[in-house]
Amino acid sequence: MKITIRQKSGMNYLYADINVSGIRVKATLGISLGDATFNPRTELVRGTASDETNILIVKMKEHIMELIRQLQKDGRLNREEIKHGIVLIREHLTNPESKKEVGLTEYAEMSIERCISTHKQGTIRQLKVSLGKLKLYEKSRRKILKFSDINMHFYHDFVSFCTTEMELAVNSVGTHIKNIKFWMNQSMIDGLHDNTVHQNRAFKKLSEPADTIYLNEDEIKQIRYAIMPSESLDNVRDIFILACYTGVRINDYHKLDAFHMINNGTMLKIRTEKTGAEVVIPLHPEAKRILEKYDGKPRMISNQKFNDYIKIVCKYAGINDMISVTRTYGGKKKSVVAPKYDLVTSHCARRSFATNAYLAGVPTLAIMAITGHKTEKVFLKYVRVSKEEHAKLMLDHGFFKGRIGKVR
């Protein structure tokens, strides 16, 4: 990353010449030299009121560097985002009173518009939901949130509002906190405030372990051999089983086809929608069978319809054990007992893949290379393995068979 402050030839103002990751941007800083003289070597000025101008130049450069770092971190580094960010920085530093004109929710609305071209649709939907909750909070508290209002008192009050008044689940509240932190970071980089309370460790995203299910190998076979009453349900069943043996998210189901097969049809190579990471998946015999059945191109349907239909598929397959699921709503633990087929979703296939591969003895790091989990700690929270299943898995280890550490 290189940022150079220059004077426009024959003109009396300065601009920033930015070169980062192959992107070149030239943006005016709104700084007039007046009687001062610009020194291109030091990128500063000398002359009347030079101290004040030089402080402004240094601040501009620091804010631009921070803007680019954050855009890189968020995966939003492009010419338009850089230009837009510099406009906001310029307005803030050359007209400090402008930062009072924008509140948090107003900024969040503008931020969502900026994100539409760079973020996934699911992320945009999530951001809009969080914005809606913030607006409900403002209405309830009869105030418009300013950036200076985002402190620990706000944090605890907003969490309480979401938990007790909105009766949201813990993980939903955590998502809203995460998005508030995102907007506070972005607006700070844009030069609209210098409030850093949201970066405090106590201003944390709440979470609780998801009480979710997986299907074991026997249950997947039940689904595989069940007779479906219609071609549509048969198609959904096959896509679900394909996902159970590849571990992809539903947003990548449409890539489970012959076009993405490599190594003489023994593997699938996919770039995931959520993270953009490239994964290579060995093809299980069942996955091969399904791809051959559809000539390498299974018929896809919408995510919503898929989640509706897969419950019907599992009901026909006899996946009807009664399951108790616990969630925290309104600060209270609530348990719901339901037939297992009613709890199956598209994501259950991905979790089933990870859990069954783990129980089969596939190395953890090999599974993580497919699922995209960054740490083993997070991965082990993701798989649905009981303490008894862990113990059975360990029984096959040489240590528990007395083959390690014997004295000769």
Mean pLDDT score across all residues of the chain? 86
pLDDT on residue 408: 45
* Among the four given CATH numbers 3.40.50, 2.30.29, 1.20.1050, 1.10.150, the one describing domain 104-199: 1.10.150
pLDDT beyond 70 at 340? yes
Mind listing the pLDDT tens digit for each residue in 52-80? 788 888 888 988 988 888 888 877 888 88
Mind listing the pLDDT tens digit for each residue in 280-292? 999 999 999 999 9
Q: Can you spell out the DSSP letters for 237-285?
A: HHHHHHHHTT---GGGGGG-SGGGEETTTTEEEEE-TTT--EEEEEPPH
Instruction: Give the SS3 label for residue 56.
Output: helix
**Which of 7, 10, 87, 17 is closest to 45 using CA atoms?**
7
pLDDT > 70: percent of the chain: 89
* Among the four given CATH numbers 1.20.58.220, 3.30.410.40, 1.10.443.10, 3.30.230.80, the one describing domain 217-398: 1.10.443.10
Higher model confidence: residue 56 or residue 156? Answer: 156
| Residue 371, CA distances (Å) to 3, 59, 240, 287 in order | 38, 42, 16, 17
Which pTM does this prediction carry?
0.62
Instruction: Give the pair of three-digit tokens for residue 282.
Output: 């060995």
- In this structure, the chain runs to a length of 408
Residues 6+ apart with CB under 8 A from 126: 175, 179
Taking residues 316-338, what's their average pLDDT?
80
| Residue 99, CA distances (Å) to 56, 194, 195, 201 in order | 16, 10, 12, 26
Is-same-fold flag (104-199; 217-398)? no
pLDDT beyond 60 at 98? no
**3 state SS for 90-132:** HHHHHCHHHHHHCCHHHHHHHHHHHHCCCCCHHHHHHHHHHHH
Q: Name the pLDDT band for 44 (thresholds 50, 70, 90).
A: confident
**Which of 177, 131, 173, 171 is closest to 152 using CA atoms?**
177
Domain limits, the chain: 2-94, 104-199, 217-398
pLDDT beyond 80 at 326? no
Mind listing the pLDDT tens digit for each residue in 206-236? 987 765 789 999 999 999 999 999 999 999 9
